Amino acid sequence: MTGILVAAGLSLLVSLLIMPLVIRLLFRLKFGQEVRDDGPEGHKTKQGTPTMGGIVIIVGAIIGYFASHLVLMTRPTVSGLLVMFLFVGMGTVGFLDDFIKIYKRRSLGLRSGAKMLGQTVIGAGFAVGVTQFPNGYGYTPASPQLSFLRDFGPPLLLIVFVAWALFLIVGFSNAVNLTDGLDGLATGAMILSLVAYVIIGNWQLRQSCVAYLAPSCYPVRDPLDLAVVAAACLGGCIGFLWYNAPPAKIFMGDTGSLALGGLIVGLAITTRTQLLLLVIGGLFVLITMSVMVQISSFRLTGKRIFRMAPIQHHFELKGWAETTIVIRFWIIQGLMVGVGIGLFYLEWMPR
């Protein structure tokens, strides 16, 4: 528990302290957001707001995670390092995307093929890695199985498991990217998801099969360190939200959204809660579905269901205030996270 608190606290402190410096630096370099011409009219006032703020979340999380191990004189685990690899790797792809947008002064960065290639290389490396490195009890960071509240079904072929992991990684990294359209929306929703994974990791530690064998124990390799990873990223997100809250002084950009999307998938895979992520990350799923419904409707019927997709912009065009949308969507995400944690706990309870 001490490691969780140290990681979250240090990450929060780093994020709060260096964010003003980063904002001033990005202003000086003119690394501002390029706003789409076809976006809501109110977004034009956000033109030039510094972006790439996800760098601070990543730096804060890295410092918080490794400093917590240094303070407690413990070694980082393979599970924790692999999730951090996915987090930083996806953030690097996002950074390149943001940099090209800013350098070429356009709303589109990396070409879709190059972006997908970067996500695939990082994601495949993670997916293969989590099936390796067994500990003394034979537990690897993840198993090549599907999971909901724990693993179920037969093991998948490695290539099938890698493809499944890539689907989740690419899907959720882009889902967080779609959610990051209003000040504080994606950051607040991600904070709630990370709280869930701190709780899940801590609970799995207390009910670990390493401590005692029981029908309801969890064969998770490094549950405590996964909770530390989630806590480190949680602290970074809270510090970032202080400056990203409406009216935002900085945006996370693809640097942050791709990193955080990859992060929660990494936590879901290593805690054996892959399909539960659809509930814990429910807001990201709903927003992505709104885009899919909009595109499908237009292609099939020539008509749009929403005034604009993702759905948060639909409510903007209906006249809802930005802060009203953000807070109400946070409430939806909070309810989804509550349902997810409730399902996780109820499944464990002896019958």
Are 5 and 64 in contact, with CB atoms under 8 Å apart? no
Q: Around Cβ 108, how many Cβ atoms within 10 Å?
A: 12
3 state SS of 283: helix
* Peptide bond preceding 350 in cis form (omega within 30 of 0): no
Residue with tokens 């990082």: 122
Measured distance CA(40)–CA(305) in Å, rounded: 17
Kindly tell me the sign of the dihedral angle through the C-alpha atoms of 22, 25, 29, 30.
positive
Measured distance CA(317)–CA(173) in Å, rounded: 26
Residue type, 171: G
Are 260 and 176 in contact, with CB atoms under 8 Å apart? yes
Binding residue per annotation — 97?
A: no
Three-class secondary structure assignment of 231-259: HHHHHHHHHHHHHHCCCCCCCCHHHHHHH
- Nearest CA to 231 out of 54, 2, 52, 33 is that of 2
- Strand spans (E) along 18-81: none
**Please, what is the end-to-end C-alpha distance for the chain in angstroms?**
29
User: What sections of 207-321 are H helices per DSSP?
Assistant: 223-244, 253-270, 277-280, 282-301, 311-317
Are 121 and 114 in contact, with CB atoms under 8 Å apart? no
Binding residue per annotation — 244?
A: no
The continuous run of DSSP H or E covering 146 comes out as strand 146-147
Kindly tell me the sign of the dihedral angle through the C-alpha atoms of 251, 282, 347, 151.
negative
- Helix then strand then coil, in percent of the chain rounded to 5, is 70, 0, 30
3 state SS of 1: coil
Q: Which residue numbers belong to the known binding site for Mg(2+)?
A: 177, 254
Q: Which residue numbers belong to the known binding site?
A: 177, 254
